[in-house]
C-alpha cells in the first residue's frame, strides 16, 4: 500500500496478547490486526517485541526445530503481503547473518536461508511478499526477570529503515533505555523512533518507561512511537499502554491498558519534522486499579492458556482467600470458581459465617469438608512416635497439610487448578506451610503485601474493575466488612492471631519492602525508626524461608522485585549481614 502522500503516513499499532510457542496462533493475531489496519487505510502495522514467538520465550528459542518453524511460518506470512495491504513491522526470533540483516529495504533481501549464523531478537519489515529488512536488538537485558544474553546475539548499532519516504528508527525494548541506539539512528537521519516492546508491568514501570522515552526524545529531537504487548505469561503480566510522543514532548497517543487492540495513528510531515495528527488518548488507571487488573489478567491468561476448566480454592473466611476468590470470579466468572471451607476444631463460628457469606456474594459453588477425621487419623498414626512429646507447630502443620491434600485431591479429580491464597508478607518470612497452604498451581497474591491486600479489598468492595477488562464478578460488595476489619488468623490453635508470631503488618511490610525492593541494610532500616530486634528477626526469617519459596507456585509479579525471578538467593547461605 502506498502512503496517502509524501507528507502523511498512517501507522497502526497492534497491542496483542501472544501465547509463547503458538507461532501459528500469534501470526493469526497479526493477520487479524492487519485486516483492521487495512480498513483504516494504514500504510504500516507495528507489533510488539517477539510477538511471533510470544514473550518471553526463554530457552524455547534454542531449539533448532522451533527456529525453523518460525522461519517457515514467517515465509508463508510474507507471501500473503502480496495482497497490497499494509506492510508489517513485527518482532520475532531470527537466525540470520549480519551482512544480510542490515540491508535497507531498497536492496534485495529475500527470506534468509536457515544455514546463516546468529540468533537474534529481531524486528522484520515485511512488505509485498518478502522480508525487506531486518533490525536486531542491540542492548540485551540481563537483570531481574531478563536473561537475554544467554539466548541471543547482540545486534550492531542500526541505521534507519527507509520505507516509502519515511525513515524509521527501529528500536527493540531495552534499546530505548540507553542513549547509544537512538543517537546512532538520529545521526543517520531517522524521522520517527519506533520501539517494539515486551515490557512487563510492575508498580512504577509506566513512569520509568516514560522517563526513558522522554530522555531519548529530548536527546534526539525525534517523535516516538512505543508499542507494547499485553497479557499474562507465567508470572509476568504485560499492560500494553502503548503510547506516542510528539515533537513538543506532548503525549500524542495513549492506548488502553490491559486490552488487546489495534489503534490508528496518523502522522504528517511539517518543516519541523513528523508529528502525530490524530491517535486515541485513553486514561490510565491508579495503582490499586492497576494491581487488581494485573491479578485478573495474570490469572485469566494462566488458566486459559494452560487449558484449565476453572479454579478451586480453600475459602477460610479470612481476607486473603476472600480477595483471591473475588479476583478469580472477576477474571473467570462465578461458574469457573469452586470454594471449599475445611473447618477444624479451631475454626471459629465467625469464619464459617464469613466464608459462606463470601461465597454467596460472589455466587460461587461452596462446599464444607471437615478435616477433623484427617487430624484424628494422623494423631493415631503418629502417636507411637510422638509419645512423650508436647503438641507444637507439627500438629498445626498437619492441619494445613490435611487441607492441602484435600484440595489437591479435588483438583485431581475434577481438573480445576488449585489457586493458592498466600500473600507476599507471609511468603517472605515463611509464615506458610510447605505442602499445606502453599499447595497449588498459581497465586494471585504472591507478590502482594498484606497491607496492600487490605487496601485492595476495600477498593473492590467499593468499585468494579473497568468494563474494558471484561470483569465477570458482581457489581457490588464481594465480602463482608468484618472480613477486612477482623485481626488475621491462621486458626490452627485456640485464639491464634498472626501478630502472635509476626510484627504488626504495617511494620512488617515496611521492613520487608526495605529489605527486598530497596536492598537496605539492617542499620539503615533501624535508622528509619524500626526496632533493632524486630529488624534482625525479620531479616533472619526472610533468609530462612528461601527453601520454602523455591517450592512455591508461580504468582503474578506486582512489585519491582518479586520473590522468584527478580530475587535469586542461595538456600544454603551462611552470610549474616543482618546480624
Q: What does 141-207 look like in DSSP terms, one character per residue? A: --STT--GGGT-PPPPPPPPEEETTEEEEEEEGGGGSSHHHHHHHHHTT-SEEEEEE--B--TTHHH
pLDDT for position 340:
97
The DSSP code for 256 is: P
Contact between residue 341 and residue 368 where contact means Cβ atoms under 8 Å apart: yes
CA 298 to CA 557: how far, in whole Å? 9
Centroid of chain to Cα 541 = 27
Q: Which of 112, 77, 56 is nearest to 231 (CA)?
A: 56
pLDDT for position 295:
97
Could you give the residue ranges of the DSSP H alpha helices within 40-148?
A: 64-80, 98-101
CA 456 to CA 34: how far, in whole Å? 38
Domains detected in the chain:
8-284 (3.60.110.10), 288-498 (3.40.50.620)
Exactly one of 13, 134, 148, 173 is catalytic; name it. Answer: 173
Tell me the pTM: 0.90
The DSSP code for 240 is: B
Exactly one of 13, 134, 137, 148 is catalytic; name it. Answer: 137
Contact between residue 491 and residue 347 where contact means Cβ atoms under 8 Å apart: yes
CA 260 to CA 202: how far, in whole Å? 18
Contact between residue 325 and residue 313 where contact means Cβ atoms under 8 Å apart: yes
- Cis check: omega of the bond before 212, within 30 degrees of 0: no
pLDDT for position 468:
85
Count the Cβ atoms, other than its own, within 10 Å of residue 415. Answer: 12
Give 546: exposed, middle or buried? Use CB within 10 Å, 0-12, 13-18, 19+: middle
Count the Cβ atoms, other than its own, within 10 Å of residue 260. Answer: 17
Active site residue 173: yes
281 three-class SS = strand
Phi, psi of 253 (to 5 degrees): -150, 140
Letter string b/e over residues 492-502, b meaning 16 or more CB atoms within 10 A of that residue's CB: bbeebebeeeb
Digit-by-digit pLDDT tens for the chain (579 residues) are 444 456 889 999 999 999 999 999 999 999 999 999 999 999 999 999 999 999 999 889 999 999 999 999 999 999 999 998 899 999 999 987 543 434 444 443 434 344 445 899 999 999 999 999 999 999 898 877 888 888 888 989 999 999 988 999 999 999 999 999 999 999 999 999 999 999 999 999 999 999 999 999 999 999 999 999 999 999 999 999 999 999 888 999 999 999 999 999 999 988 888 888 888 899 888 999 999 999 999 999 999 999 999 999 999 999 999 999 999 999 999 999 999 999 999 888 999 999 999 999 999 999 999 999 999 999 999 999 999 999 888 988 999 999 999 999 999 999 999 999 999 999 999 989 999 999 999 999 999 999 999 999 999 999 989 888 999 999 999 999 999 998 876 656 676 676 767 888 899 999 999 999 999 999 999 999 999 999 999 999 999 889 898 898 999 999 988 887 778 788 888 777 665
State the residue for C-alpha cell 537496605: 520
CA 197 to CA 65: how far, in whole Å? 25
CA 94 to CA 292: how far, in whole Å? 36
Phi, psi of 266 (to 5 degrees): -110, 125
The DSSP code for 391 is: -
State the residue for C-alpha cell 512455591: 552
Q: Which of 518, 525, 522, 515 is nearest to 545 (CA)?
A: 515
pLDDT for position 385:
93
455 three-class SS = helix
Q: Which three cell numbers stand for residue 46?
A: 507495528
Contact between residue 47 and residue 14 where contact means Cβ atoms under 8 Å apart: yes
Exactly one of 13, 29, 49, 491 is catalytic; name it. Answer: 49
Give the length of the chain.
579
550 three-class SS = coil
Active site residue 134: no
Active site residue 149: no
Contact between residue 191 and residue 169 where contact means Cβ atoms under 8 Å apart: yes
Contact between residue 440 and residue 420 where contact means Cβ atoms under 8 Å apart: yes
Beta bridge partners of 442: 419
Amino acid at each position: 500500500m502506498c502512503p496517502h502522500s509524501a507528507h502523511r503516513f498512517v501507522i497502526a499499532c497492534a497491542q496483542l496478547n501472544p501465547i509463547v510457542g503458538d507461532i501459528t496462533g500469534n501470526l493469526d493475531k497479526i493477520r487479524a490486526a492487519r485486516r483492521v489496519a487495512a480498513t483504516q487505510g494504514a500504510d504500516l502495522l507495528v507489533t510488539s517485541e517477539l510477538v511471533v514467538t510470544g514473550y518471553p520465550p526463554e530457552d524455547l528459542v534454542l531449539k533448532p526445530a522451533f527456529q525453523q518453524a518460525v522461519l517457515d511460518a514467517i515465509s508463508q506470512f510474507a507471501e500473503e503481503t502480496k495482497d497490497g495491504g499494509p506492510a508489517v513491522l513485527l518482532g520475532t526470533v531470527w537466525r540470520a547473518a549480519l551482512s544480510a540483516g542490515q540491508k535497507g529495504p531498497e536492496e534485495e533481501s529475500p527470506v534468509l536461508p536457515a544455514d546463516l549464523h546468529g540468533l537474534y531478537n529481531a524486528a522484520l519489515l515485511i512488505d509485498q511478499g518478502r522480508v525487506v529488512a531486518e533490525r536486531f536488538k542491540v542492548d540485551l537485558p540481563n537483570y531481574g526477570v531478563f536473561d537475554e544474553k544467554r539466548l541471543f546475539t547482540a545486534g550492531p548499532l542500526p541505521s534507519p529503515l527507509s520505507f516509502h519516504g519515511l525513515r524509521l528508527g527501529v528500536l527493540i525494548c531495552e534499546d530505548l533505555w540507553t542513549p547509544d541506539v537512538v543517537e546512532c539512528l538520529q545521526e543517520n537521519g531517522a524521522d520517527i523512533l519506533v520501539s517494539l516492546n515486551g515490557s512487563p508491568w510492575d508498580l512504577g514501570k509506566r513512569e520509568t518507561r516514560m522517563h526513558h522515552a522522554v530522555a531519548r526524545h529530548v536527546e534526539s529531537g525525534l517523535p516516538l512511537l512505543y508499542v507494547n504487548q499485553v497479557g499474562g505469561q507465567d508470572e509476568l503480566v504485560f499492560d500494553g499502554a502503548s503510547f506516542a510522543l510528539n515533537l513538543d514532548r506532548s503525549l500524542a497517543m495513549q492506548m488502553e491498558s490491559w486490552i488487546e487492540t489495534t489503534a490508528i495513528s496518523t502522522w504528517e510531515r511539517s518543516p519541523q519534522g513528523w508529528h502525530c495528527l490524530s491517535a486515541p488518548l485513553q486514561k490510565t488507571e491508579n495503582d490499586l486499579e492497576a494491581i487488581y487488573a494485573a491479578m485478573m489478567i495474570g490469572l485469566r491468561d494462566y488458566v486459559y492458556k494452560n487449558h484449565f476448566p476453572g479454579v478451586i480454592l480453600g475459602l477460610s473466611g479470612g481476607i486473603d482467600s476472600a480477595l483471591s476468590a473475588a479476583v478469580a470470579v472477576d477474571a473467570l466468572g462465578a461458574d469457573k470458581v469452586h470454594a471449599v471451607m475445611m473447618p477444624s476444631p479451631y475454626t471459629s463460628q465467625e469464619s464459617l459465617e464469613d466464608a459462606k457469606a463470601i461465597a454467596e456474594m460472589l455466587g460461587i459453588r461452596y462446599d464444607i469438608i471437615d478435616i477433623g477425621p484427617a487430624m484424628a487419623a494422623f494423631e493415631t498414626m503418629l502417636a507411637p512416635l510422638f509419645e512423650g512429646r508436647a503438641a507444637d507447630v507439627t500438629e498445626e502443620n498437619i492441619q494445613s497439610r490435611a487441607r492441602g491434600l484435600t484440595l489437591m485431591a479435588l483438583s485431581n479429580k475434577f481438573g480445576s487448578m488449585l489457586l493458592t491464597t498466600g500473600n507476599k508478607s507471609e511468603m517472605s518470612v515463611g509464615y506458610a506451610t510447605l505442602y499445606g497452604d502453599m499447595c497449588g498451581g498459581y497465586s494471585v497474591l504472591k507478590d502482594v503485601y498484606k497491607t496492600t491486600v487490605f487496601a485492595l479489598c476495600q477498593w473492590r468492595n467499593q468499585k468494579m474493575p473497568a468494563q474494558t477488562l471484561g470483569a465477570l464478578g458482581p457489581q457490588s460488595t464481594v465480602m463482608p466488612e468484618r472480613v477486612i476489619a477482623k485481626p488475621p488468623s491462621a486458626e490452627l490453635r485456640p485464639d491464634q492471631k498472626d501478630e502472635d508470631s509476626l510484627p504488626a503488618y504495617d511494620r512488617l511490610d515496611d521492613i520487608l519492602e526495605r529489605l527486598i525492593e530497596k536492598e537496605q541494610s539492617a542499620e539503615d532500616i533501624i535508622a528509619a525508626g524500626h526496632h533493632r530486634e524486630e529488624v534482625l528477626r525479620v531479616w533472619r526469617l526472610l533468609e530462612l524461608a528461601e527453601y520454602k519459596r523455591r517450592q512455591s507456585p508461580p504468582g503474578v509479579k506486582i512489585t519491582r522485585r518479586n520473590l522468584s525471578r527478580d530475587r535469586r538467593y542461595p538456600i544454603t547461605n551462611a552470610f549474616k549481614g543482618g546480624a
